[in-house]
Structure 1
Amino acid sequence: MSILVFFISLQVLLVPLVSGASHVCRSYCGNITIDYPFALKSGCGHSGFRDLLFCINDILMFHISSGSYRVLNIDYAYQSLTLHDPHLSTCDSIVLGGRGNGFVVEHWRAPYLNPSADNVFMLLGCSTQSPLFQGFPSGNHVPCRNVSGMGCEEYYGCRGWMDLGLARMGLAYGTGPPICCAIPFDSIKSVNLSRLECQGYSSAYTLAPLRVSGPSEWSYGIRVKYNVEANNDSFCKACEATGGSCGHDVGRFGQLCMCGTWNSTSDCDTVMKLSVGGATSTMVELSGSMITVIAMWLMSFRM
């Protein structure tokens, strides 16, 4: 066997050490693909999204401090998730009694997750003492307004109000606070129904450039935009370009490139690698040294 053929054979044997590493963290839940920055496996994905998604009987769940939501879709191109709260009011059903989750994200997750700008929250049955109405009616502090063409004036026309025995005319608030107050998420930073003293809420979002005729055709749910820092994104691209899968250190939350049987703090082509146990020597380094030794040994027979 020639030295060249031997080297090629040895490299073929070493390929499995790295091949498939880019799929170490990719997984599925039902028909939804779970990929960076999200993950179901410990150590995979971005640290800001850890312990966020759970797959239960092929149903993907999203969990934050305000509760659990079913994930209907992850749009990696638009960088958004679409969530469903079972106690969310729609046009056909108005849910009161404070059963809805609302939307409150942990402070440390706030840089990464927020409802999209075209998402309207309509708070229902809030008390006169609600922080929303402080200074009302003499002050000018009511934040209620339309968001992306959606608001309470149209929502009052939904049949769900009639099922509660409330017709559109009966919803006029006159000198009292409105029974429905539409707001953008940015104006209050969290939809905490208990703190806001509200009985329920609805949430809808637009799907541009789609135009709909009224609230019966709105898309109900919570559209959440996610964000990853530019430096982390560039690290991940470099990692994936060398066959790795983007992850993080579960103890220190630093970036890691997962290369199959070992991890790297940069990418899968660097000389110094970080193994799962924390040592710097890896199978690739050892195999490289082995190739050098064998090459020198074979060359000695040719001299």
Structure 2
Amino acid sequence: MSTSSSKSHMAISLANNCISTLFIFIIFLLLQFLSITEAQSSICRNSCGDIPIQYPFGIDDGCGSPFYRHILVCTGGQLQLRTPSGRYPVRNLSYIDPHILVTDPLMWNCLDGDNFRPTRPFSLDTSTHFTLSSENDYLFFNCSESDVLVEPKPMFCERFPDQCDSTCDSSSYLCRHMPECPTALRSSSCCSYYPKATESLRLMLKHCASYTSVYWRNLGSTPAFDQAPEYGIRVDFDIPVTTRCLQCQDTVKGGGTCGFDIETQDFLCLCDKGNSTTYCNDRTSSHRRGVVAGTATAVSVAGAFGIGAGVWYLKKLRAKAPVTHGVQTNENRLF
């Protein structure tokens, strides 16, 4: 009898220890959840490597404007622009003169010389607020003259003014003065052509060995047309300015970070103590938590899993707990 009673007390003690451990685990998860949701604004990283990330962009889902969602990717400290034709390293990002400078490793470069590698046409998603800058020039190499109009543009335009835009200019300044490597091409032909759309660029590459993009960088001096050509692609973008975002960023109103709900894409002001639908110091605004992907939501899922597992375990313990004629006593009850 005493042996049975001893085993019963050991089972109860073990159950109580397990319950205590379970409660500590659940409390730990809840504290983690609260600590993360109380600092929503800190979730939005403001740089990738040495490139600043500001509105309208965001490299964390729920940050910035939904118009540019999933456009920029930060991998290993390197910022990349995601387009339908691939991912491209970002060299610079300007918010004053809104544009992004990207490079395409598959484009021709000075080291290639007359050795042309397979390349792909650069393209942009037309549904985004991006446009190819008119400050880009495209150079095509070894084009088939039976398929492409390769002629000196001034002479061609005088003879065929209505087809002036269709010629690939073989006498362009850039072909005669290749940036950084004027003598890189020895036996290959070169012409300059600005494609009006991705499709025209794709058609050109069907009949040309390769191509490269050159943009004109403003030297920041006077006169304003003092520019220098550099290899790369300039992509212009719009900054959607809204009253709600300006109020959210206003330091007098709390100095929040503009973001959006990842489920509805509605505007949210990300604040130190949660998310507001207006601005951080607005006491009348409704506040939401856990809408930034990969952070508080993940913890809440883990918390729910932990609580669910706890309920299941408690039911199992209750089923095995010793009972005296169906009456719980202070010695064997679970709570």
TM-score range, shorter chain: 0.5 to 0.7
Distance (whole Å) between structure 2 residues aligned to residue 247 and residue 123 of structure 1: 42
Distance (whole Å) between structure 2 residues aligned to residue 237 and residue 18 of structure 1: 23
Find the counterpart in structure 1 of residue 298 from structure 2: none
Distance 1:182 1:25, change over 3 A: same
Larger radius of gyration: 2
Q: Secondary structure at the match of 1:207?
A: strand
Distance 1:102 1:210, change over 3 A: farther
Find the counterpart in structure 2 of residue 204 from structure 1: 214
**Residues 1:50 and 2:69 aligned together:** yes
| Letter aligned with residue 117 of structure 1 | S
The structure 2 residue matched to 1:257, chosen from 244, 263, 269, is 269
Find the counterpart in structure 2 of residue 142 from structure 1: 166
Residues 195-217 of structure 1, C-alpha deviation per residue, up to 9 Å, x if partnerless?
A: 43243221112222469xxxxx7
Q: Secondary structure at the match of 1:42?
A: coil
Query: Where is the helix percentage greater, Structure 1 or Structure 2?
Result: 2
Find the counterpart in structure 2 of residue 152 from structure 1: 175
**Residues 1:113 and 2:130 aligned together:** yes
Find the counterpart in structure 2 of residue 221 from structure 1: 232
Find the counterpart in structure 1 of residue 122 from structure 2: 103
Distance 1:274 1:123, change over 3 A: farther
Distance (whole Å) between structure 2 residues aligned to residue 38 and residue 248 of structure 1: 12
| Letter aligned with residue 139 of structure 2 | M
Deviation at 1:228, TM superposition (A): 2.1
Q: Secondary structure at the match of 2:218?
A: coil
Deviation at 1:239, TM superposition (A): 0.7
Distance 1:27 1:269, change over 3 A: same
Deviation at 1:273, TM superposition (A): 1.9
Deviation at 1:89, TM superposition (A): 2.1
TM-score with structure 1 length normalisation? 0.64
Residues 167-197 of structure 1, C-alpha deviation per residue, up to 9 Å, x if partnerless?
A: xxxx3xxxxxxx52321xxx51337754432
Deviation at 1:28, TM superposition (A): 2.3
CA contact 1:62–1:68 (8 Å) conserved in 2: yes
The structure 2 residue matched to 1:190, chosen from 198, 203, 206, is 198
| Letter aligned with residue 189 of structure 1 | A
**Residues 1:32 and 2:43 aligned together:** no
**Residues 1:276 and 2:284 aligned together:** no
CA contact 1:25–1:246 (8 Å) conserved in 2: no
**Residues 1:237 and 2:246 aligned together:** yes
Distance (whole Å) between structure 1 residues aligned to residue 133 and residue 265 of structure 2: 26
Deviation at 1:152, TM superposition (A): 3.3
Q: Secondary structure at the match of 1:48?
A: helix
Q: Secondary structure at the match of 1:159?
A: coil
Distance (whole Å) between structure 1 residues aligned to residue 210 and residue 239 of structure 2: 32
Distance 1:153 1:26, change over 3 A: same
TM-score with structure 2 length normalisation? 0.58
Distance 1:144 1:53, change over 3 A: same
Distance (whole Å) between structure 1 residues aligned to residue 117 and residue 234 of structure 2: 24
Residues 244-272 of structure 1, C-alpha deviation per residue, up to 9 Å, x if partnerless?
A: 11112222323221123422222223312
CA contact 1:19–1:243 (8 Å) conserved in 2: no
CA contact 1:264–1:273 (8 Å) conserved in 2: yes
CA contact 2:38–2:274 (8 Å) conserved in 1: no
